[in-house]
Structures are given as C-alpha cells and as structure tokens.
Amino acid sequence: MAKAGWDIRAEGLHGGPPLTVYGSSETHSWAAKACDTMGMGRKAFRAVPAGAGYRLDLAACREMILADRRAGQRPIAIVGNAGTVNTGAVDDLRGIRALADELGLWFHVDGAFGSLAAWSASRDLVAGQESADSIAFDLHKWGYMPYEVGVVLTRDGEAQLRAFAGQAGSAAYLLSLDRGASADTTYFADRGLQLSRGFRALKVWMSMKEQGVSRIGAAIQANIDQARRLGERIEGEPRLELLAPVSLNTVCFRHAGAGASGERLDALNREILTQLQVRGIAVPSQTILDGRFAIRVCITNHRSAPEDFDALVEGVLALGEEILDCSPA
C-alpha cells in the first residue's frame, strides 16, 4: 500500500504514490517534459480538456483530480495559463486558485509572455495571476529583451530553498559565511540545479533602467491593440475565417477557401503560409485548432505597425486567389 507521506528527497519518487500535475490540453509541452525530466513520467501531466475559448475546464479538472486520488495517486499542482501558446487564451486564474485551495494543491502560472500584460493598460486580462504560488515568464518575449532570459517568481522563497537545500550546501567549498565574500543570502546555487551560471540578469537591469515598466507596458498594449484590430479586420472579410477568440496578442485565422473544405482547405492555407514566408510578405507561424490548419500571428515586436498587418491580410487574400485559380477543381 502506498505511503501517505514520505521523504521524497531521501527515498525518491518511488517511495510513495505516483505524483500528478494538471493543466489544460492547451498547456505548452514544457509541462510534460518537466514531468519526464523529474522522473515522474510524461503521463504524470494530466491534460484536462479545454473548454470554451480554449481555456481550462475547471469542472473537468476537479473531477480528474478526485478520480486520480481515488485511484491512489497524489495530485500536487495545477498549471494555469496566462496566454496559451496556440491562441493566447488566459485561463480562469481566480477559479484555479479557488480549486487549488479547495484541494490543497500548488498553483503555478505559465505566463511565458502573457504575464507581462500586467504592465499594460489591459492588466485585467491576467487578473488572478498575482495569487499564484509561482509564476514563470520570459522577458525575451513580451519584455522585448535579448534572448534568453527566463524569470521565476515564487510566493514562498523558503519553499524554493527547501527544495534545493543540501544540493550546494553539502559541499564545504560552497558554504556561505556570515561575513566576507561568501556572505550572500541570495546564493543562486541554493535555488536551482545550476552551480555556474551566466549573468543573464544584467540585460534585464539595463533594459529596465533605460526603458522602464511604463514604456514597455505601452509597447505591450500596442501589440494587444494590433491583435484586436487584426481580428476585427478578419471578421469583416468574408474570404477569411477567425478560428479562435483574440485574447491577448495572438490571432489564428485561415482563408475560407471559396467552398473548399477538409484537407483541401488545410492544403490551401499551408501553401498560403509558405508563400507569405518565402516571398517575404510576412512570417506568421502555424498551429492546428480542432483539426483545422491555422495561420498563427503572435505579435511580440515593439516595431510592428498597422500597415504590417494590412499587408499580411492583403497578402493572404491575394495568395488565396492565386492558388485557387491555379489549382484543379
């Protein structure tokens, strides 16, 4: 019979019941990779079906957690998305906080780019993330800073220290003293797996000193406004189809195909995307939404201008007509 409690650091994952983590099916692949890396196995990440607007279905999440508990597993955390990778959807973060409190779980926010909407006039879009136990985001995305710089914020700093305590401290040459060069209460070797690490924070400090939160926030708001405008332009064009709500800065759409459907419609949009890129018109990416190929526009450039998106729309329309004219019926 699995033990109710055990020293996971001393006994390992197999000293107790299997651990499980929950997030919507729209959660980035990092979650399953992290479970894999930690030895929990990829199946430890429970992908909860996304509901309306590609957001986490809270009721389905609750039922999945309770079912796993009845099966003898140990749920430990729920991941909420502040901007999913496919559509930019923001989960009900306040609802996830309430569910995590009800069931005694850790609440982590994946805010890869979306968390930084808190610096903009649209901060209400990510309301609730401030109640998370931990948040992770990348300043090389919506912070417009040089690649790479990731940020992790933890509500309980002592919990992070306990998780890695002994990793560095057990080595005599890494012990901190009360005074002198080794007197440092923010010794990063005690807060992660790395001992040696580059000074990534320098570019953050320099950028923040030169730009400031208000200027970066204004650029973020401009990207949000551009996404909304692009979404409205697509909805107003009968030859185009918006495939997901515009939540933050991501717009997913396709050419409607003049009667084409299924694989032929997907093939048309794949070719449109390729031609947009190779002809140098624009460089959107792609995703699959409910089995449909989507042209995905994720706006994280402070230099983007309205005419860039006009050129994108006109390019999609022109390429669609060109490809349809050249294709067999």
Residues 103 and 218 in one domain: no
Residues 12 and 122 in one domain: yes
Q: Which of 106, 169, 172, 113 is nearest to 137 (CA)?
A: 113
Spatial contact of 132 and 97, defined as CB atoms under 8 Å apart: yes
Among 138, 159, 192, identify where a domain stops.
Answer: 138
Q: Measuring CA to CA, how many Å separate 208 from each of 70, 81, 122, 211, 291?
A: 49, 25, 20, 5, 41
Cα 319 from Cα 296, distance rounded (Å): 16
> For residue range 207-234, what is the model confidence (pLDDT) as tens digits?
999 999 999 999 999 999 999 999 999 9
DSSP-derived secondary structure letter, 160:
H
Structural domain of residue 65, as residue ranges? Answer: 8-138
- Residue 177 within a domain: no
pLDDT of residue 174: 67
SS3 47: strand
SS3 195: coil
What's the pTM value of the predicted model, to 2 decimals? 0.90
Mean pLDDT throughout 16-35? 95
Percent of the chain past pLDDT 70, that is, above it, reads: 92
Cα 114 from Cα 85, distance rounded (Å): 10
Structural domains in the chain (count): 2
pLDDT of residue 213: 93
- Residue 181 within a domain: no
Among 91, 113, 138, identify where a domain stops.
Answer: 138
Residue 322: give its domain's CATH number: 3.90.1150.170
Confidence category of residue 200, pLDDT binned at 50, 70, 90? confident
> For residue range 247-280, what is the model confidence (pLDDT) as tens digits?
999 999 999 998 888 999 999 999 999 999 999 9
